[in-house]
A = this chain, B = another copy of it.
């Protein structure tokens, strides 16, 4: 009985980040970084932690969606292998009544992803391995078993996936050793939030380079002249050899994106991220064809079917997986395989609450066992809120250190959970009882 999942706890955790302008961009002026956070507990005291990242209002909706998955989880044997994790992923994403709420997108899908990820945390913790190593310990046959190939077979069959994984198998141990020694390349978004002054932008950009980052990112999209000025300042601050990505957070239509990026192109942006709607595959292809800067997207891409098409349509130069928007590790393994098939580098989205902690495992697994490369690959890093995690992401010299603790680095500190619970934790109580201010 000790191996049965006996408990599922769900917490609505919110951080009042809108009080600073950290995280501000062209579409999200005042985010309160939040997590619908869950804990699975087995009878023998093991725990699995997972979460959806949101930016405030609606975090309760995701929490309720996680609760709706309880019947699939509680009473189930704790998963310990690929077959178990595949079965859980299947049950969560193929509940026909819940599937109607997507299908495979939005709140219901994010909730499934949080539970899947918590199950991976549980299984890897019990196996005594960090998730990236747990994944990399699986055979190609086990790994393809994780994947739901429905809707993918016109782009990637099970046999093709197996061949990709087998081709990468011989170098696994050597690449894992490289990771442990050198870490994985990171870039930082910290200098570039839209709400920051020019002075702060320049100072933080220089600090990023001094800290060893070879790439930074600026938010753009509200005002083209402002963006040209900021891009010019950033380029002057970091010099010609540091990459500067720009991110429009879905602000534009196709023609806007082409016009804007043509204006920014002289300052050599490395990529344009989320130029338009994440649903607009053909729009991304048109943006890519219409201006000289490489195109990246993915943090809001709902599922593997949309990623498949972005690749089929040659719409993106970089695939930006998010650890907590799709249906967890399983669906991200599918997306890594699709990207490998099309030869497109995966550069994960991170930041938010705990996204750096999660996604580092997926990028490292990709390096070890799927693409086998870290050329042109880089994980986003934002230096926010890591202090709330028990096994925080560590970035040194512009590189993510390979996690060594068992699990998915997903566990929040109990004190942080208690303090930031919404609406009754002390952080929020204090804000309700404080006199009105300008917030």
Contact = CB atoms under 8 A, between A and B. Distances in A.
Contacts of A110: 101
Given A54-B101, A61-B64, A106-B105, A151 B280 contact: yes
B97 A57 contact: yes
Contacts of A62: 101
B151 A58 contact: no
A161 to B, nearest CB: 14
Interface in A187-237: none
A102 interface: yes
Contacts of A64: 60-61, 64
Interface stretch (A79-87, A303-311, A338-346): A303-311
A282 interface: yes
B151 A278 contact: no
B104 A279 contact: yes
Nearest to A300: B103
| Copies of the chain in the assembly | 2
A127 B154 CA distance: 51
Interface string A88-117: 000000011111111111111110000000
Nearest to A103: B300
Interface residues of A, number: 60
A56 B95 CA distance: 11
Contacts of A286: 154
Nearest to A109: B106
- Give the one of A100, A250, A255, A278 with max B CB within 10 A: A100
A20 interface: no
Contacts of A68: 57-58, 60-61
A97 B61 contact: no
Contacts of A253: 150-154
A340 to B, nearest CB: 19
Given A55-B100, A65-B107, 10 more contacts: A105-B105, A106-B106, A107-B107, A151-B253, A153-B254, A277-B305, A279-B303, A279-B309, A281-B309, A282-B313
Interface of A: 27-32, 54-58, 60-62, 64-65, 68, 95-110, 150-154, 250, 253-255, 276-283, 286, 300, 302-303, 305-306, 308-309, 312-313
